[in-house]
Amino acid sequence: MAGTDHPPYLLALRLAGRRVTIIGGGAVAARRIPALLESGAEVTVISPELSPAVAGLAAAGQVRWARRGYAPGDCAGSWLVGAYASDRVVNAAVAAEADAAGIWCVRADDAAASRAWTPASGRSGGVQVGVVSGDPPRSARIRNAIVAGLATGALPAGQAPAGRPVPGPAAAAGPGRGGVALVGGGPGDPGLITVRGRHLLRQADVVIADRLAPRSLLAGLGPDVEIIDAAKVPRGETTPQEHINRLLVSHALAGRLVVRLKGGDPFVFGRGGEEVLACLRAGVTVTVVPGVSSVAAVPAAAGVPLTHRGITQEFTVVSAHVAPGAAGSSVDWPALASAPATLVLLMATEHLAAIADTLIRHGRPARTPVSVIADGTLPSQRTINARLDTVARDVARAGLGPPAVVVVGEVVTVSEQIFELCGGRAGPAPWGTFVPGRRPGTAGGPGAAGGAAGEKDRERDD
C-alpha cells in the first residue's frame, strides 16, 4: 500500500444522509457503528451473522442488514466502507474494490494496507478530539489525556496547571488492581454519562456492555481494551445473567479492571444488585457509579414532567415486560388504575394494548393523556401523544418499538403547553432544549394550552 511512509492527512467527514457500508457484523462493527449513526450516516451492514449489539440496531431499524457474505460491487454508492470481516482475504478484496472506485476504506485487520484510519477519538463538551500516532495504544493514551485535560481545565498536554497528572489507564496500572465497576451510562445520549463513569471507562481493561448502554463511547476506548457484548435483544439473542456474573468475577480475579457499562442506572431494572452480590461472594471489590435513569430523563427530554403543581405530587415506576394477568406479573394494576399518580412504564410497548385495557377496566379514564417516547435523548427520538384508549393503535401505526418510555397521566398536558409555547416543535439537539416560538392560542399550534393530549390522534415526530 503506497503512502505508508508518509504522515496521514487528517480530515473530518460530514456523513449525514450518506451511505456507509460495513462488511462484517462482529465486535469491530459493534464498536464503530454507533459513532457513524451519531454522525447521521445511513449504515448498511453486510454479514451472514451479527453480534447481539449490531442485531439490536438492525432490529430497531437503525441499520440495514444484508444477511449474506461480501460480493463484488457491494461498495458501490458508498462514501465510506468499513472492512471488518474476520477473514483477511475478504477485507483485502473489499479494500481493493473501494480503492479502485475512489472510496475511502478502513481495514480493521491491517492498518498498513488501509487507505483510511479511524483515529482514537473522544469528546469533551462541543470539542471532538482525534489522535493518530501509528501506535493505537499510544494514541488512546494521548486522547485520554487531552479529553481529561479539556474536562478539568488542564493543559492539552495532559498536565493540570498545578502539575498533577491527568488520570488515564496508566495511572491505575499495577498488580492486584482487579475489580469491577458497575457504571450507569444514562438514557442513551453519551453526553449524559457521569464524569466518574467516563473516568472509569478510560481506566478499564475490560468493558462488558449492555445493548442500551451508550455504545458510541466504546469507539473511544483504546485498542487494548477488551470489549464484551452482553446485549439482550428483545425476543432475540440473550446473554444469560449467570454468564455475565462469571465474566465479571473471572476477569477481576485475573487482576483486570472491569467496567460493566449499563444503560440508565445500574440499580433501576438493571440487575445491578445481582452482580454486586455475585462479585462480593467471590471476594471481588465492586464500585457502583449511579447513572441518569431513563425513568425521569427520557420524559424530561420530551418535555413531560412527572410531577406538576396542581396536577400530581407522585409518580410510580413499573417494569411492564410481563403482561397484566400473566404468570410472573407482580404488579398491582387495579391499585395503579385507581391512584392519581403519574405512571411511568418501562419495557411496555409489547403489552401496551393489554395494559391500557386493564387500566381502563379498573378505573383510569379512557381519555387519560399518554406519551410514548422512543429512543429517548438520541437523535432518533420520537414521541407519540395519544389517549389511553387509542395509544396502542397509534404506537403500532407509527411503528414505535423498544426502547421506549410510556407516561400515563395528566402531566402529559403540560408537555402540550410546552410545545405550544415552542411553536409546536422542540429545539435542536440535545433533546430537552425548548425554544420559544408562537404565542399560545395562535392558529396551527399542536393544541390549546392546557387541553387534553388526546383530543385527536396525532404524532409528534421530534
**In 3D, which of 11, 35, 24 has the Cα closest to residue 115?**
11
What residues form DSSP beta bridges with 317?
Answer: 344
Residue 319 CB neighbour total at 10 angstroms: 14
**In 3D, which of 399, 60, 371 has the Cα closest to residue 236?**
60
Strands 226-229 and 404-408: unpaired
Q: Which amino acid is it at 53?
A: A
Is there a catalytic annotation at residue 210? yes
Q: Residue 296 contacts by C-beta under 8 Å, 6 or more apart in sequence?
A: 306, 344
- Could you please report the per-residue DSSP string of 363-388? T--TT-EEEEEESTTSTT-EEEEEET
Strands 315-319 and 342-346: parallel
Backbone angles phi, psi at 240, to 5 degrees: -60, 140
Question: E-strand spans in 14-140?
Answer: 19-23, 42-46, 64-66, 80-83, 104-107, 120-124, 127-131
Cα–Cα distance list, 280 to 77, 204, 252 (Å): 53, 19, 11
CB 409 within 8 A of CB 345: no
Catalytic-labelled residue, pool 87, 232, 357, 457: 232
Q: How far apart are CA 82 and CA 108, in angstroms?
A: 8
* Helix, strand, coil shares, percent, the chain, to 5: 30, 20, 50
What residues form DSSP beta bridges with 208?
Answer: 228, 260
Q: How far apart are CA 427 and CA 440, in angstroms?
A: 17
Question: Quick check: helix, strand or coil at residue 100?
Answer: helix
**In 3D, which of 222, 217, 227 has the Cα closest to residue 173?**
222
The grid coordinates of residue 392 equal 396502542
- Class of residue 114 by CB neighbours under 10 A (exposed 0-12, middle 13-18, buried 19+): buried
Catalytic-labelled residue, pool 109, 189, 205, 210: 210
The grid coordinates of residue 25 equal 457484523
The grid coordinates of residue 217 equal 463511547
Strands 226-229 and 206-209: parallel
CB 103 within 8 A of CB 91: no
- Please list the active-site residues: 210, 232
